[in-house]
Structure 1
Amino acid sequence: MASYLESSINKGSDFDFSCFTCQENERNTEAEFYCEECAKFFCGKCVKLHNSLFKKHATLGKVNISQWPENNVDSQELCQEHKKEKLTGFCEDHSELICHACHINNHQKCSHVVHIADKVKNLHQKGDFKQLSATVKTQQQHLIHKKDDFEENMKSLEKSYQKILEEMNALRKTINDSLDLLEKNTKKELDTLLATMRTSIQTDIEICSKSITNITCLEQDLQTIKDKSEALSFIKYRKCLDQSHNVEAVLQEMTYKNERTLTFNPATTIQQTLSTLSGLGQILSTVKQSQPAKRTTQNTETRQNKLSASSKSDTENQTTPGFKVKKSNPESSSSRQYSTGNQTSDVTKSGHVSDPVASLSHLLIQGCQPGGVIEPDPIIKVNRSKKYNVKIVRDSSNCFISGICETATGELLISDYDNNCAKLLDQTFKVVAHCDLPDSPWSMCSIDSSAVAVILNNCEVHFIRVTNGQLVKNKILKLQHSCTSIAHHKGNLYIAGGSALYRYTVVGRLMVSKMYENTSDLWTVGACAVSPDGDRIYVANLTSNQLVTLSRDGTVISRFTDPALDWRWNAHSALHVTDSGQVLVCGVRSRKIIQVDRDGRQRLAEVVTEKDGVTYPSSVYYRKHTGSLIVGMSGNDDIIVFESQ
């Protein structure tokens, strides 16, 4: 280190051209001559030796400096901090290239500072330059192969795209042909019925006409009866009487024949199935994880490790030149499938999800097999249930449980909309404490180990902390917009209300003005929820009865519709995402709670319904550690606790 320090100090002169020979001997001397043949600079002393060795070489002195090269130092050799200084050393303690000024100012106390020339000599001796060159060439070949593979993949994608278009057209034609056949069969049935009814009515008309003719003739004969003989008169009388009886019988029979009509009772199954679809099928994109490329040589890695150990540098953050591969999540599989489009599907009795496109095809064409179905999330199933009364003495109205949550330490809280309060429940679901609120609470969410946030009808967020079994108000956040729902994830508050979804920090700073917006009406956005990893945000669209799923940056991933989402402008829609990422949706008017897949594309199950005692569910919460599903309702003093299977 001392020799390098001395040479660095000697290099303190501020000039543009240095003597080549002196630099080779670790001195920094200003150049006075330039040899075009050698393409090197020399000082006055070294040029004498040069001239004695190369007598035919012409040298240019400073009088001809305009003919010298602009600079004898490559731009990559210059220090970024000290612009005119050449990089001449390497600090192994900090793994930095340095010039003499860097060494004096910042690296005098470093214990491993070496000259670049020595470093290069060492690398040449070990063969690392050759090995690195071989590694780079190998990597270049790998990149070329990868590029070729990607180009082939691009061509394959284009072919797949055209094939899918052809399959879509074929499916559409099949469906159209099937619909045409159904229409033809229905029209044939209509024609047959019309012909039958026409024949029946025509027969009745002919009977009436014949009877009219007969009874008219007899009536005329009766008028002339006085001019005939007694025998003839009696004969005509009897014929007229018999004909009158026949007409009476015909009229009596016709009174029982109601007016014949034709009506059409459409097959609603087709329309219902079509209404649940947003496309002809699912477009699946499979990304296969390729095996990482093997190390070029084991010797390279070994030498790198030895070099790092000898220089005492941080080996954990260094790799051999090559691709940097991000470690995969242990829970992820070797390939993942993504689907586009907004798909809904019905759950069969066996618990399997049926593809609605396949169901329609099966409905129209016998023998058509269902299409591919994505593996569903774990479905929540419940069995026994018990009701717990949460009404307390100070309540003036029936309870309206608008929110349920628990702190990180397990305290369970509920918000009571009609009684303007938050309540703390013990392990037996008995109310042990409450906190009065200045207005009706819409919903609540957990913030940390002992605090929750409650959003009120007066556009305020109240933070409440559980302290020694009591609910203590902490702080208040006032908003400038309407609000009906709140969710929290890692310091971010997602607040829905009016026609938009906003994102705040827990201290009240607005991060994103509007993550999602629907301006079709003044009150369109109801509940909101966020997945445990923060990658999915769920919003209840009240105007279209849709569950809208957003990505972390607010991009719409899917829109899901279902008869159970019967919110109809009811802002008390409720969503809940479990710790495992299962999505639960309350259908307030449908009196159901359904489970939807994580991407918000299809229904997985009806978790509980009115048959289970659920009426106007306004909140739902799943406690993972107890395996229980808690349902709060509107206008009901009881909460229902279901045990999961």
Structure 2
Amino acid sequence: MDQEFITCRICSRPLSDPCYLECLHDFCKQCIKDDLTQNLSTKLSAYACPVCKQLTETKNTTPEKWAEQLPASDFVGALTEVHKLKNEDVMCTPCKRKSKTTTGSKWCRTCHEALCSSCIDVHASLKTTMKHSMMDLHEVKLSGTKSLIFGPNCMKHDQQSLRSFCEDHNELICSLCIGEKHKQCKQIRTVDEEVKARNYELQEVSSKSANQLQIVQKALKSSLSSLTDVETTRSNLSDKIKSVRKRVDEILTKCEKKSLEELERIETDHRGKLEQDVDKLESLNEESSHTNQLLEQVKNYGSNAHILQCLQQVRERSNKNSTAFEEYREVKELPKVTFVINRQLDGLMRTLTSLGDFSIGENGIGSTESKQSKTPDNQDEQKPVNSERRFKRAENVLSVRTPSDENACVISGILSLPNLDWLFCDKGNRKLKLYNDKFRMKTEHILEQPPYDITLLGDQIVAVTIPDEMKISIFKILAGINLQEEIRTKDRCYGISYSSSESKFVVTCPFGSPASLRLLSRNGEELMVLIPEEDHQSLFLRPLYVRFDNSGNSILVSDSQRNRVTSITRSVYRRFHYTHANLRSPRGLALDSEGGFLVAGWGSDTVHRVDAGGRCKQEVLSRHDGVISPQAVALSYDQTAFVLSLDESSCRSDFVLLFSL
């Protein structure tokens, strides 16, 4: 017998009162209760198996009630009991109920209890138990496990073995059940007859189960091997990337050396000429100073003969030096030296966004079967989109960095105002930044904690989420950015959208347990917590950005972990999932006037345009357009352009990209 099979995977002890989950893993009932009570809320919709993480529906009841409703593991319980009988010193069960410790000597095969000598006498004297079959415990230890296994008892008629099977009701029954509920049933067989009749089905299920195990083990082995391959690939490609960088560094170092040598030559040439001029001018300065002094002294103290003599000397010297003095009549200015960057290098620095692209095979690393394209109901990956673009390459790459910024900008929220000004949430510097329609900065507002997303409430009134402070701040945009009020939230909120027709907010809580959406009134009252499920699993894992549609009846949510955008109604009815082979880790969302939307694929370096029904219209931007790790996206208020921000991992988060429609 495999002892691990009868060991609880929670407490690591032999199973006691075992029950099983939908995945068929067995646990002690008390262990399940304790695990639910300690780790989960009092109301839950599903419980994840501690071993395989498969979910078992809990029907929103309390942990204690739900655990009591779990089905008993009859076979595993019997196997555990027999293992104890064969391998341990068993205490008398009736004495144990009386808090006594007496070693058992026999085992009742009907009651499934160990009995001491005193209790054996009582057992044999009672009318209800006197005919029970008894077995010496020493004999039990020597017997085979299969001969000792006892069958399950009827839940309705205690101590009655389930020896029959009703095909009409497809259930095991006891002899008393036959006379009560199953009087009219035509298809009742003994358990032995039913097993014999279903022998082929048993073989078929066993074969299917063994085949499934083989498939899983093969795939697991392949995946584990692929994990090693991933590390090896990462190491090899990392070396290749570093070699590219090394080659670039070598080229730049060579160019740098050449430019510095040229600069040194220019400096030496200019210095030599200037030093010659300085020496000559210092000589002329000394001569001129002495000549002036001589003339002054002669005029003051010399005789006329001295004056005529000196005049003749000075005139001759002046005539001799006239050419030199004329040379320096106008002050010479040294030619200004500037450095103009190589045009090719300048263009490269403006457009270079990566050292290269990664190519991933169709099956991916460690894949055991090829991917198949599916399209029904917009739930699966859609076919490649039309390569024709409606959007131009970025007309402007605009800096959003201001002189007072201490860190790299990280623009996580963008909003176009009715007057066509642009408002940015810079979580890298804890600021709100206001720019006009020409992208000239108007003002900025410093916050205590980083903002994340932003939404329009009314004319020049905006709401901003501050996740770390668990609040939403309301600002009025006039000449400056003026705080109007603050709304406290029950969890850290990130994405935000406001429906003016419904006067309601919807916010995302991606790091809650579980992740959720929350509907709030205009004054911040929590109206509803949305934790939708699909196939007994949470619909959202990491909902980051959210947008009400134009009617306010539907909600768009980008889920960066499930790699999709989901549209749901406020009654948690799912309208569609938008997924695509070229969309990974979606983040920012922007709604257009037709009900469609733009979505930024942070993990795929793409921007997709999707219609109101969740169908892909086109991949409007990709890495070849200079898009690396796109974060937030917003359409201008007049729907003539859109702005895209880049995450800090792009190394270009100080800039936003402007595209016209």
**TM over 0.5, yes or no?**
no
| TM-score band w.r.t. shorter chain | 0.3 to 0.5
What TM-score do the two structures reach when normalised by structure 1?
Answer: 0.41
What TM-score do the two structures reach when normalised by structure 2?
Answer: 0.40
Bigger Rg over Cα: 1
